[in-house]
Amino acid sequence: MRRAVCPGSFDPVTNGHLDIVGRASRLYDEIVVAVLVNKSKSSLFTVEERMDMLAEVTGEYGNVRVDSFHGLLVNYCRTHDIPVVVKGLRAVSDFDYELQMAQMNHGLAGVETLFIATNPLYSFLSSSLVKEVAMYGGDVAGLVPQHVLDRLLARLAERC
C-alpha cells in the first residue's frame, strides 16, 4: 500500500488544496488528509468542522480519508506508517519554508516530501485570503467548493 499524507490547517479547505489532494490521490493508493490541531492558533472552524468539510469534498476521490493530528507531523507519519508528505507549492515564496520543513522532516524521521506545483489558477489562493475577502463581502465562489462556501458564509454571518 503506497500511502501519503497531505497535512495542513484547512481553515477552510480551498480549491487549491483540493487540486493538490486530487492529483496526489492519483499517485498513491491512499491519501490521508491530516488536519493539524493547533490550540495556539485561532481558527474560524473547529477541527471537527474542517474534517467534515474535507470528508464531504474529497469523497469523490475514493481513496482519500481525513484525520487529525497534533504535535510533530513526523510522529503522525511514523505511527501510521506513512513515508511521504505531499505539499503544494504555489510560488517561490512558499519554497524557502517548505524546503526547511521537508529537510527537517527528513532529518528527524526519514520522511520524504513530494512537492506538487499548484495549478496556476490557484497560485494566489490561501485559506486566510479567502476568509478575509469573504469577511468584507468579496466574492469567493469559485475559490472554494460550494459546500464550503455555504458554511463559510453562514459562519461569517453568525460572527457578524
Q: Summarize as ranges the residues that interact with ligand PNS (CB under 6 A).
A: 7-9, 36, 72-73, 101, 104-105
Q: Is the peptide bond before 7 cis (omega within 30 degrees of 0)?
A: no
Catalytic annotation present for 127: yes
The one catalytic residue among 26, 39, 41, 159: 41
What does R_g of the chain's alpha carbons equal in angstroms? 15
Catalytic annotation present for 39: no
Catalytic annotation present for 106: no
Which residue number has the CB closest to ligand PNS?
8
Complex with ligand PNS: residue 36 or 149, whichever CB lies closer: 36
Catalytic annotation present for 147: no
> What's the farthest any 2 CA atoms get from each other in the chain?
46
Helical spans, DSSP H, in the chain? 15-25, 47-58, 73-79, 92-109, 127-135, 146-159
Query: What whole-number distance in Å separates Cα of residue 133 and Cα of residue 129?
Result: 6
CB neighbourhood size of 156 (10 A): 15
Give, as one character, the DSSP assignment of residue 138: -
Please identify which residue in the block is written with the cell numbers 469523497.
59
Q: Which residues are part of the catalytic machinery?
A: 17, 41, 90, 127
